[in-house]
Amino acid sequence: MQDTNTSFPETAANGTAAPEHAHTLTKAQLKADKPTWCPGCGDFAVLAAYQKLLEKLNVPQESIVTLSGIGCSSRFPYFVNTHSVHYIHGRILPFTTGLSLTRPDLHPFVFIGDGDAFSIGGNHFDHCARKNVRMTVIVMDNQVYGLTKKQTSPTSPVGFRSKTDPWGSKVTALNPTKKLISSGASFVARTIAANPAHLLEMLEEATNHDGFSVVECLSECVQFNGGCFDGAVPRKGGEFPLVPDDHDVTDEEAAYALTKKRFPGYFGVYYKSRRPTLNETEAEIVGQAESRPKGLLASEVLMSALERLT
Amino acid sequence: MQDTNTSFPETAANGTAAPEHAHTLTKAQLKADKPTWCPGCGDFAVLAAYQKLLEKLNVPQESIVTLSGIGCSSRFPYFVNTHSVHYIHGRILPFTTGLSLTRPDLHPFVFIGDGDAFSIGGNHFDHCARKNVRMTVIVMDNQVYGLTKKQTSPTSPVGFRSKTDPWGSKVTALNPTKKLISSGASFVARTIAANPAHLLEMLEEATNHDGFSVVECLSECVQFNGGCFDGAVPRKGGEFPLVPDDHDVTDEEAAYALTKKRFPGYFGVYYKSRRPTLNETEAEIVGQAESRPKGLLASEVLMSALERLT
Amino acid sequence: MKDQSLPALDKDPADGASILSVPRTIRDSVIRIAGNSQDGIQSVGAMLARLAGRSEMDVMTYMTIPATISGGPSIFQVHMGAGEVLTPGDTSDILVAFYQHSYEDHLDNLRDGGILLYDSTHVRPDIGVLRARRITPAGVPMTSLTIEVLGGTGKQKGKNIFLMGLLARAFDLDMKKVRKLIKERFAGKDESVVRNALLALNGGYAYSIGNVMSLYSFEEPEATGRPKVTMTGNQALAYGAIAAGVRFGAAYPITPWTEVMEQLRRDLPHYGGTFLQTEDELAAISAALGAAYGGTVSMTGSSGPGIALKSEAISYAVMAEIPILIVDVQRGGPSTGLPTNVEQSDLNQALHAGHGDAPRVVMAPANVEDCFYLVIEAVRIAHKYSVPVMFLSDQALATRIEAFNLPDLSTLKQVPPAPREALATHMAYDLESITCHAPPGTRIKDGKYPNITGLEHTENGHPSANPKTHAAMTAKRRDKLVALARELPPPEVYGPREGEILLVGWGSTGGIIRESVDRAASQGRTLSSLHLRHLNPLPEGLEEIFLRFQHVFVVEMNDCDTNGCGHLGRLLRAETCLKRIRGITKTDGLSFRVREILQRLPEVETAAETP
Amino acid sequence: MKDQSLPALDKDPADGASILSVPRTIRDSVIRIAGNSQDGIQSVGAMLARLAGRSEMDVMTYMTIPATISGGPSIFQVHMGAGEVLTPGDTSDILVAFYQHSYEDHLDNLRDGGILLYDSTHVRPDIGVLRARRITPAGVPMTSLTIEVLGGTGKQKGKNIFLMGLLARAFDLDMKKVRKLIKERFAGKDESVVRNALLALNGGYAYSIGNVMSLYSFEEPEATGRPKVTMTGNQALAYGAIAAGVRFGAAYPITPWTEVMEQLRRDLPHYGGTFLQTEDELAAISAALGAAYGGTVSMTGSSGPGIALKSEAISYAVMAEIPILIVDVQRGGPSTGLPTNVEQSDLNQALHAGHGDAPRVVMAPANVEDCFYLVIEAVRIAHKYSVPVMFLSDQALATRIEAFNLPDLSTLKQVPPAPREALATHMAYDLESITCHAPPGTRIKDGKYPNITGLEHTENGHPSANPKTHAAMTAKRRDKLVALARELPPPEVYGPREGEILLVGWGSTGGIIRESVDRAASQGRTLSSLHLRHLNPLPEGLEEIFLRFQHVFVVEMNDCDTNGCGHLGRLLRAETCLKRIRGITKTDGLSFRVREILQRLPEVETAAETP
Ligand SMILES: Cc1ncc(C[n+]2csc(CCOP(=O)(O)OP(=O)(O)O)c2C)c(N)n1
Ligand SMILES: Cc1ncc(C[n+]2csc(CCOP(=O)(O)OP(=O)(O)O)c2C)c(N)n1
Ligand code: SF4
Ligand code: SF4
Ligand SMILES: [Mg+2]
Ligand SMILES: [Mg+2]
C-alpha cells in the first residue's frame, strides 16, 4: 500500500499558505474568453474589479480559483484566466466548501447571481454562513433572472413586472444583507458595479477577511431591468449613502438595523467579525486525531484498526 | 368539454370557509394509531396539545389536514385521525403551499423536526415566510436527529456530542426564531412540550393568525438528548422566562433582539403582524383575470384564445 | 403525405430543369432567413407561419437561438405549402441573407438551383460559386431602402417588415391578410409604429426584384373549411394543459421549458387557476403534488436538470399514488449541456428517475398538434390511474411553429377537480381497485380519515413492513401500468405493414421520419415507419410488428451503446429481445434531417438477422 | 463450499435421525436469538460472530431492526461453522426465545428436529407442537437466574451475557476467548460493569441444561494461520474507502447508510482526512465534488432517496469528468418505503440517475469482504477514468457480520491525491486521451488555466455548441466505459460451464445463490451460477456464457416486468437479446432464502427457448 499519509497541507496562520515571493499578475495574464454579456451589463465592471483585485493580491496565479453556479453572472469563470469551475445552479457554495476545507492553500472566489444565491441556493448560504467556511462570495444582484430572460427573482422589488409576474410582483423581496447577517456570515458588505472604486474596496476587504465573506453587488441588467439601480448612481440623479462612519461593524443588531433602510440602502461593510472558521475547527480535529497514533503511517493506523476487529 | 370553471372555492374574510355549525370533536374521534415514540418522548405532549386544539377549534373534522416530512416528529400524522400526509424529508412546506393556495377551505397543520425544518428544508422556510403562505407550522425541536439515531442537527448546541460529532459540535447552532423573524414569517412563537398549557396557548394563537405562522416547540428526545431542556423546566430546576410583557410583537427589530437571550431564552410570541398572504394576492390576480371575460365558461375563454392564434 | 407528382420547386437538382425557365405554381417552399437575433427575423418568420395557417396551408418552422444573451447570428426557417408539411426542410429553396456572415454560414444549406435573396447593403456574394450551383441571386439594398422608406432616421428596425413585403410580392401573397397580421402584431403599440410598419411593408412589396421571384405563387390548398391555428409546441402544450383541466402548476424557470410556465402563469387565472414560480424545482413538484392531493388537476415541468432535482418526489408520487403531469422539455445534456439545442437524451431519466421500483407513465408528443392533444390524454391517464405521467417534449418542438386545425373543444374530455362528496368509508390504498384518493375536505362517515404516505403502507395508508403487504402493494403499483398498456391504441405502421426496413421513432422526429419514408418512396425504395407516443408502458403488439421487418432502426437524438442502440432502442431490445433492432442515433444538438436518416440505412443488405 | 457429506446437524428432517440420538461434532450451526431490541441480543450475536472469526470459523449474521424508535421485537441470527458459510441460514438449528412473542413468531423458522432454548421465566411452549416437530425444548429461567446471579437488584441487563454463557457451554466454546471478548466489549466502562458481565457469563456457563446441548462441539476448522476480521458490510465499506485513499467525504444521514458516514467522520481524521455532515444530499455530493476537484480522493453516499437528490450533480460529475465514489446502501423503496428492509431496487437509478447521456460506472459488492476490496477497485476506476462510480450495497450487507481474512495492506493499491507539479500546458478535456484534471494549485506554464464545466465544452473547457464538438465529447465520455469493459476480469461461472440452468445475481445475494447451487447439488440437481460485480459497464463475454445454458434466471430483490425480469434481467436482455433470460424476483423486503430460489426453478423443463 502506497503510503501518502494525505493530510491537509500545512496551514498558515490564517489558513492560507503564505506566498513565497511576489506574484504580480497583469491584466493580460488574466484575460480569457471575450465576455458574452450584453453591452452595458453591470457584470463587466465586476469582472474588471476582480481582475484589478487579483493584480493587487500578490499570490501565485495557480492558487486562485474562480467558481460559479449558473446564470449570466455565473459565466464569469470563462472570462478570467484562473483555475475555474462552472458548476450547477445554486450549489456552488457546498462545492466550494469541499474545496476550501481540503485545500487551504487556495483562494476560492465565488461569483453568482441573486437567483442562484437566494432562490435555489438559499439554504446553502445559511449553512455556509453558520459554519463560517472560508471563501469569498460575490453576489451579482440584478434583481432579475437574466439568463432565462426576465423572471421574478427573490430580490425583485414589489411591483416588478416580469414574464412570471406580468402584473407586477406582489411578494416581499428578500433582503440579501439581512439574510446574510442573520444567518451568521462573518463578513457582509454591499456595493454596486456602477461604483468601481467602492466595489474594488469591498472586494479587497472581503478577500482579507478570514471566514465566510459575502459582498452583495448591485449589477444592472440592462437587458431586462434597465435603470433599476439609477437611484443609487449619483451621476444618474441617485444617491450613494455609505454605511455611517459610527457604525460598529461587530454589532450584529446594529448591522441588522442598517438593512432596514429603503432603496438605495447603505453601501459599505455592514458586519465583520472574526470567529473560528470550519476550516480551523476541522483542522483542529484532524490535528488532534493525527497526533494520537504518533508518527504512524496511514497504513499502520489502518492495520491496527483492522486488527482490533480480529 | 366538460365545463367546470374550476376556481378557488369562495374565500371567507380570513381565507377560510366559515364553519356552518358547531363541530366539536372528541378525543376519541381524533385517535388513530398508537404512537410509536419512545416512552417519555416530548412529542407525546405535542400530540396531546394538538388534539386539544382540534377539540376546541370548532371546524369540521374533514377540513383539518395534518402534514409532515420525515423524522420521529413527522410520524405525527399517523397518530391523529384527520386527512393527513406523510411526505418526504424537508419538503412539506412547498407541498402545503400547493394545498393551501388551492384549498382555502382547509386548515393545514404541519409538524416537523428541527432537521427536516432547518437542515434539508431550510430554504423552503425562507420562501414560505417571505411569501406569507397561509399555514401553521410546528417545529418539534429536539436539537438532534432522532429518527436516524443521534446525529448533529443545525440546532444542536456547541459541545453537543453526537455520532457525527463524537468530540462535540464546534459549529454555531441555528437559532430558529431568529431565522424565522428575519426571513419574514408573520407569526413566530416559541414554546416547550414540557409546558402543555403554554404550548396549547401558542398553538391557538398560531392557528388564529392569518398567514405563515410558526411555533418552535422544544420537545425533548429522551433517547438521544435526554435532559437537554431541563434548564427550561422549572420543576427540574430550570426557568421558563416569558417574552416580556412590554414587548411589541409587531416590532421586528425588537423581536430579533429577543432571540439573543441565551438558553433557555424567552417563551411566547416573538413576532406577529398582518400583511397580505400569498393566498390573498393570488386570489386577487385570479379575481381580476376571471372578471375580465365576464361570465364566460372556461371553454369559451380557451376557444377565444385559440381563435386568436388562427 | 406530400404528393411527389405535383409540380414543386425542384428538390433534386439532378433533373436539370432550371428554376428560371418556366413560371409555375409551387406546392411548398422552404425559406430560410439568416441574420442576427436583434433583426426581428423571428417575427417575420412567425408572421409567414401564421399567414400560411390562415391560408389553410401547412407550415413548420425551425429556429436557432444564439448561445449568448447579448445575441448574435440566428436563423428562422419557414417551410410552408399546400401539401402536408412534415419537416422544417432539410435544405432551403430560398435563402435570405442579411449579412455577409449569414450568406457565408448558410449558403451550403441553400439547395442547388435555389434563390439567394440578400441585403446588398451588407452582402457581397461570390457570383462564380452561385453560378456553378445554379443559384439565382437577387440583391436588394434592404437596409438602405428601409431607411429611405421610413424617413432616413437611421433606424433599420423595419428591415424585417420590408422583407415581408418583398416576400409577399415574390410569392403573390394576399396583401390584405398580411396587413391584418401586421396590425395585430403591433396592436396596442403607438399609432406611428403601425404606420411605419405598413410603410416598410409597402416599400418591400413595391420593390421589383425583377422577374426572378415574381414567378411563383402557392398552389391553392384544399379548403377544409376548418380554420388553422399556428403556434409553437410550448404554446400548444400550455393550451393543452388548460384544455385538459389543469388548474394549478408550479415550476422554476429553465430553458426551453420556461415559456410553458410563463404562459400558464399568465393564462391560468382566466380559468380560475394559478401557477406558482417556486424557489427551486424540488419545491415546484412538491407544491404541484400538494395541489393534486387537494384535488386540483395539477402539473409541474422543467428541462433535464430540473427533472433530475424532482427525482425523489417522483418516487413519492408513485408510492403515494398522486396523479400529476410532469413535463420535461428536453435540451442537450448531460448537466448544463447545450441549453438551446435539441436532444432526446432524457428518456432514460423519464423512465427511471427516482429510487426503488417506481413505475410511472412516459409519453412523448410527435409534433405541435400532439403537444395539445396528447397532453390531454396524459392528464386523463394520470387521473384514471393515480400515477405521475412524464411528458417528454424537446427544444425543437418547443420552439417550432406548426399549423393544425382549430380544436373542437366540445369533443375533448376535461378532467374535473376531484369530487368531495361525503363517503361512507374510504381506503386510500385499496388492493382491490385502482387507487382514487378522497381529497381533504371529504367527510368520511365511518370517521376513519386516510393517510397519504411515502412509507410502504396498508390499504388504509398506515405504515407496514409486512413482507406480503410490500409485495402486494408493489404489484398494485405495477399492475396499473399493465392495465393501461391493454387500453392503449395499437401502434400503427406508416407504409407497408411488412418489408425490409422499419423506422421507429418517438417525440419530435415524427414528421422527419415520415418524410424519410416518403422521400425514400420517391427514390424507389420502400420503407415503413412506426412512431411511439407511449414509451411506458409500451403498447402491445410491437414484437409481432418488428418480426415482419428484416431490420428495425430506432431513430433518436441520443447516444448509442455498443450495439448502436439509443435509449428507446435498448428499451425495445429489452422488451422484445430482437437483435434486428438497431439504432440510428446522433448527438450533435441538431434535429435529424431526412438525408441523414436515409444515408444511414443499409444498402439493400437483406441478409437475415443472426439470432 | 460446505461439504454435505460431513456430519452436520440434520438439515433435512426427512432422514428421520433424531438429534438426541448421537452425540456429535457439528460443522456449522444457525442460532437465532429472538427478543426485544433493548435486550442486547445484538451484542451477544456480534460476540458470537467475533468469536467465530477468532476461531478461524466462517460466520454470517442477520438481524432485523424494529420499525419504531421505541424499539420492539427484534432478532439476531448467527450462522457459524468450520466450512464456508455463505448465508445467514434459511432456517435455524437453535432458536433462543426470550419472550412468548419471540417463541410464537419464530418457531416456524426453527427446523424440525431443532432445539428450542427458551427463557422459562417468560415463555410457555406448546409441548405438543414441539413433539410433533421433534423439537427439543430446553427451558432455562434466564431472567430470574440473571437477577439472582447479579444480586437481585431487579436488573435484567445481563440476560444476554448469561445467554452467552449458556451457549458457550452448549457448544463447548473456548471460555478464555469468550472472557477476553467481554472484557474488550466493556473496555473503558466502569470496573463493576465488567465484573457483573463476567458474573452473568459464569452463571450461564455453570447452568446445566441437561444433556441436550452439551453434546455439540464445532469441528476444528482448517487453520489458515491468517487471522480473520469480523465486521459488518458498512464497516468494511468504510475501511475499504480509507484503504482506497479516500480522504474526504460528505453526506447527510439516512438509514442504512448512516454508519458508514459515522465511522468515516470518526476515523478519517486519523488519516489526515475529514468527513462533513452537510445540510442535505445536494450539498453533500457538491462538497465531495469540490474536494475531488481539489485533488483529494473523495466520496459521498446515501440510500435511495438521497441518491435521487444527487441526480443532477451526478450528471455534472459525468460531464465535468470528476472522479468520485458514490455509495448507495439500498433499502426498500420507492420513496421512504421500507427504511430498515433490504431491496435491490436502486439499480435502475444507479444506471440512469440524472439527465442526458451520462455514462457512469456501476458496481456492487457480493459480500462483506467485497465491501472492503471492491470499494478499493471502485476508487481506482473512478480515478483512472475520471468518472463517478456508483457503488450499490444494501441493507442486508450493511448490517450483517461476516468474517474474512485480515487484509494484507501491502498488496493493495491506494489512490494518492492528484499531483500538482507544474505543467507546460494542459487541456482539461483533451479528445486524444482519457481526462485527467490538473487540480487548482497546479501551475500551467503556458499561462492558460483550465475550466471545469457542466456546459458542453471544447478540449480546453470553454463552452461550445458546435455540433461536432458535442458528438465527439459525448463519444469521449462513453468510450471510457468501453475501455473499462475491456479491462474487466471475465465473469466466472460457479459450477459446470454449461448446462440447463444458470443463476445470475448481483449484490448481497452472492452467498445465497452459491449456496443454492450447492444445495441443489446435494439434492442431485446440477445448477451453475454467475455473480456480477460490474453492472456498468458489463464485463464482456456474457452472451457466450448465457448461450451455453438453456435457462438463465436472474435472481434479484426488485420488481419484475411482464417478462418476469427485474432490473438486471432487463439490462441483460437489452444487452444480449436472449429470451432465455428470465427473472426470479421478489419484493417482500427480506433476503432471499435458498429454498425460495430453488422452489422457483422450473421442474426439469428442458424445452428449448423459442426465439
Ligand atoms: C437546476 C436548474 N434550474 C434552472 C436552471 C435555469 N437557470 C439558469 S440561470 C437561472 C437564474 C438566473 O438568474 P440569476 O441567478 O439571478 O443570474 P443572472 O442571470 O441574473 O446573472 C435559471 C433559473 C438551471 N440551469 N438549472
Ligand atoms: C432525502 C432524505 N434524506 C435523509 C433521510 C433520513 N432522515 C430521516 S429523518 C431525518 C432527520 C430527523 O431529524 P429531525 O428532522 O430533527 O426529526 P426528529 O427525528 O428529531 O424528530 C433524516 C436525516 C430521509 N428520510 N430522506
Ligand atoms: S441579460 Fe442582463 S444580466 Fe444578462 S448579460 Fe444581458 S444585461 Fe447582463
Ligand atoms: S428517538 Fe427521541 S425524538 Fe425519537 S421517539 Fe425516541 S425520544 Fe422521541
Ligand atoms: Mg439575477
Ligand atoms: Mg430533531
Q: Please write the tens of the pLDDT for every residue from C570-602.
A: 999 999 999 999 999 999 999 999 999 999 998
pLDDT digits (tens, 9 = 90+) for C321-362: 999 999 999 999 999 999 999 999 999 999 999 999 999 999
Among chain A residues, CA nearest to D247: A6
User: Alpha-carbon distance C113 to C117, whole Å?
Assistant: 13
Q: How confident is the model at residue C150 (pLDDT cuts 50, 70, 90)?
A: confident
Q: For ligand 5, a single-atom ion, which residues have Cβ within 5 Å?
A: A 113-114, 142
Tell me which of B295 and D571 has the higher pLDDT. D571
B/e letters for B300-309, b = 16+ CB within 10 Å, e = fewer, are ebbbebbeeb
Find the mean pLDDT for residues C179-192: 87
Tell me, what amino acid is at C444?
A: I
User: Alpha-carbon distance B89 to B115, whole Å?
Assistant: 9
- Dihedral sign computed on CA atoms, order C233, C234, C238, C244: positive
Q: Do B182 and A184 touch (CB under 8 A)?
A: no
Q: Does B123 touch chain D (CB under 8 A)?
A: no
Tally of structural domains, chain A: 2
* pLDDT for position C156: 52
Query: Of the bound ligands, which one is closest to the alpha carbon of residue B147?
Result: 2
Residues B136 and B282 in one domain: no
Among chain A residues, CA nearest to C254: A148
CA distances (Å), origin B7, targets C246, C268, C337, D425: 11, 10, 39, 63
What order do you get walking across the sheet with D324-330 strand by strand? D274-277, D248-251, D298-302, D324-330, D388-394, D361-363, D534-536
Tell me which of A10 and C258 has the higher pLDDT. C258
Q: What is the CATH number of the domain that holds A93?
A: 3.40.50.970
Among chain B residues, CA nearest to D339: B148
Residues B194 and B45 in one domain: yes
Residues B286 and B222 in one domain: no
Scanning the structure block, which residue is given the C-alpha cell 417525440?
C507
C-beta pairs of C513-517 under 8 Å, 24+ apart in sequence: C513/C555, C513/C592, C513/C597, C514/C1, C514/C86, C515/C2, C515/C86, C515/C87, C515/C594, C516/C594, C516/C597, C516/C598
Q: Is the CB of A224 under 6 A from ligand 3?
A: yes
Q: Do residues A136 and A48 make contact, with C-beta atoms less than 8 angstroms apart?
A: no
Q: Is B97 exposed, middle or buried (0-12, 13-18, 19+ CB in 10 A)?
A: buried
CA C416 to chain B, closest CA, distance in angstroms equals 6
Residues B221 and B297 in one domain: no
Q: Do D296 and A306 touch (CB under 8 A)?
A: no
Considering only A29-38, C63-72, C353-362, D485-494, which range has the smallest mean pLDDT?
C63-72
Among chain D residues, CA nearest to B166: D266
Atom of ligand 2 lying closest to residue B140 CA: 21
Domain assignment present for residue B31? The answer is: yes
User: Alpha-carbon distance C217 to C26, whole Å?
Assistant: 6
User: Alpha-carbon distance C414 to C324, whole Å?
Assistant: 14
Q: Is the CB of A223 under 6 A from ligand 3?
A: yes
CA distances (Å), origin B161, targets A288, A290, B158, B164, C581: 16, 20, 9, 8, 59
Residues A271 and A298 in one domain: no
Q: Cβ contacts (< 8 Å) between A145 and chain C: which residues?
A: 253
Q: CB count, 10 Å around CB of A78?
A: 23
Q: Do D449 and A83 touch (CB under 8 A)?
A: yes
Alpha helices for C336-421 (secondary structure H): 347-352, 368-385, 395-399
Domain assignment present for residue A10? The answer is: no
pLDDT averaged over chain D?
A: 90
pLDDT digits (tens, 9 = 90+) for D84-116: 899 998 899 999 999 999 999 999 999 999 999
pLDDT digits (tens, 9 = 90+) for B32-65: 999 999 999 999 999 999 999 999 998 999 999 9
When CB atoms are compared, the residue of A101, A123, A310 closest to D228 is A310
Q: Cβ contacts (< 8 Å) between B225 and chain D: which residues?
A: none
- Report whether pLDDT(A9) > 90: no
Q: Cβ contacts (< 8 Å) between D356 and chain C: which residues?
A: 304, 332-335, 337, 343, 345-346, 349
**Cell (9 digits) for A184:** 451568521
Residues B285 and B247 in one domain: no
Domain assignment present for residue A12? The answer is: no
Q: Is the peptide bond before C334 cis (omega within 30 degrees of 0)?
A: yes
* pLDDT for position A294: 67
Q: Cβ contacts (< 8 Å) between C289 and chain B: which residues?
A: 87, 95, 98
Q: Do B310 and C274 touch (CB under 8 A)?
A: no
Q: What is the largest CA-CA distance in chain A?
A: 78
Domain assignment present for residue A61? The answer is: yes
Q: Is B218 exposed, middle or buried (0-12, 13-18, 19+ CB in 10 A)?
A: buried
User: Alpha-carbon distance C239 to C246, whole Å?
Assistant: 10
Residues A244 and A309 in one domain: no
Domain assignment present for residue A2? The answer is: no
8-state DSSP, C67: S
> Ligand 3: which of A34, A70, A72, A225 to mutate, judged by most atoms within 8 Å of the beta carbon?
A72
* pLDDT for position C219: 82
Q: The pTM is what?
A: 0.94
Q: Do C305 and D315 touch (CB under 8 A)?
A: yes
Which B-chain residues 124-163 have CB contacts (< 8 A) with chain D? 145-149, 151-152, 154, 163
pLDDT averaged over chain C?
A: 90
Size of interface A-D (CB pairs under 8 A): 217
When CB atoms are compared, the residue of D68, D70, D253 closest to B148 is D253
**Which residue puts its alpha carbon closest to atom 2 of ligand 4?**
B221
For ligand 1, the distance from its centroid to the CA atom of residue A148, given in whole angstroms, is 6
Provide, rounded to the nearest whole percent, the portion of chain C with pLDDT above 90.
Answer: 73
How many H helices and E strands in chain D? 20, 23
Find the mean pLDDT for residues C215-244: 89
Q: Is C603 exposed, middle or buried (0-12, 13-18, 19+ CB in 10 A)?
A: exposed
Atom of ligand 3 lying closest to residue A36 CA: 5
Q: Cβ contacts (< 8 Å) between C405 and chain B: which residues?
A: none
Residues B42 and B130 in one domain: yes
User: Alpha-carbon distance C192 to C151, whole Å?
Assistant: 13
When CB atoms are compared, the residue of A131, A182, A257 closest to B179 is A182
Find the mean pLDDT for residues B112-117: 98
In sequence order, the 6+-apart residues with CB closer than 8 A to the CB of D336 are B70, B86, B88, C316, C319, C453, C454, C455, D305
Which B-chain residues 44-103 have CB contacts (< 8 A) with chain C? 60-63, 65, 77-78, 81-88, 91-103
Residues A115 and A195 in one domain: yes
Q: Is the CB of A222 under 6 A from ligand 3?
A: yes
- Report whether pLDDT(A70) > 80: yes
Q: Do residues C310 and C258 make contact, with C-beta atoms less than 8 angstroms apart?
A: no
Domain assignment present for residue A300? The answer is: yes
Among chain A residues, CA nearest to D455: A86
Domain assignment present for residue B3? The answer is: no
Provide, rounded to the nearest whole percent, the portion of chain D with pLDDT above 90.
Answer: 74
ipTM summary value: 0.94
When CB atoms are compared, the residue of C305, C341, C453 closest to D355 is C305
Tell me, what amino acid is at D37?
A: S
User: Alpha-carbon distance C265 to A150, whole Å?
Assistant: 14
**Cell (9 digits) for C253:** 424557470
Domain that residue A287 falls in: 277-310
> Ligand 1: which of A89, A139, A141 to mutate, judged by most atoms within 8 Å of the beta carbon?
A89
Residues B230 and B116 in one domain: yes
- Report whether pLDDT(A299) > 50: yes
* pLDDT for position A293: 63
**Which residue puts its alpha carbon closest to atom 10 of ligand 1?**
A71
Residues A161 and A212 in one domain: yes
**Which residue puts its alpha carbon closest to atom 6 of ligand 4?**
B38
Domain assignment present for residue B12? The answer is: no
Q: Do B88 and C313 touch (CB under 8 A)?
A: yes
* pLDDT for position B293: 65
Residues A194 and A259 in one domain: yes
**Which residue puts its alpha carbon closest to atom 1 of ligand 3?**
A146
User: Alpha-carbon distance C569 to C581, whole Å?
Assistant: 7
For ligand 6, the distance from its centroid to the CA atom of residue B121, given in whole angstroms, is 13
- Report whether pLDDT(D219) > 80: yes
Q: Do residues A97 and A78 make contact, with C-beta atoms less than 8 angstroms apart?
A: no
* pLDDT for position C155: 55
Q: Cβ contacts (< 8 Å) between A82 and chain D: which residues?
A: 449
For ligand 3, the distance from its centroid to the CA atom of residue A147, given in whole angstroms, is 7
**Cell (9 digits) for C590:** 441538431
**DSSP 3-state percent helix, strand, coil across chain A (nearest 5):** 35, 15, 45
CA distances (Å), origin D555, targets C475, D516, D567: 18, 11, 10
Q: Do A84 and D313 touch (CB under 8 A)?
A: no
**Cell (9 digits) for D539:** 464485463
Identify the contact set of chain C against chain A, taking CB-CB distances under 8 A: 67-71, 252-255, 258, 261-262, 265-266, 277, 279-281, 305, 335-336
Residues with CB under 6 A from ligand 1: A 70-73, 89, 113-116, 140, 142, 144-148, 153; C 252-254, 281, 305-306, 309, 336
* pLDDT for position C194: 87
In sequence order, the 6+-apart residues with CB closer than 8 A to the CB of C579 are C573, C609, C610, C611, D577
- Report whether pLDDT(D26) > 90: no
pLDDT digits (tens, 9 = 90+) for C91-133: 999 999 999 999 999 999 999 999 999 999 999 999 999 999 9
- Report whether pLDDT(D216) > 80: no
**Cell (9 digits) for C429:** 390504498
Query: Of the bound ligands, which one is closest to the alpha carbon of residue A88?
Result: 1
Considering only A58-72, A279-293, D146-160, which range has the smallest mean pLDDT?
D146-160
Atom of ligand 3 lying closest to residue A40 CA: 7
CA distances (Å), origin C593, targets B104, C515, C531, D526: 52, 9, 16, 55
Among chain D residues, CA nearest to B150: D253
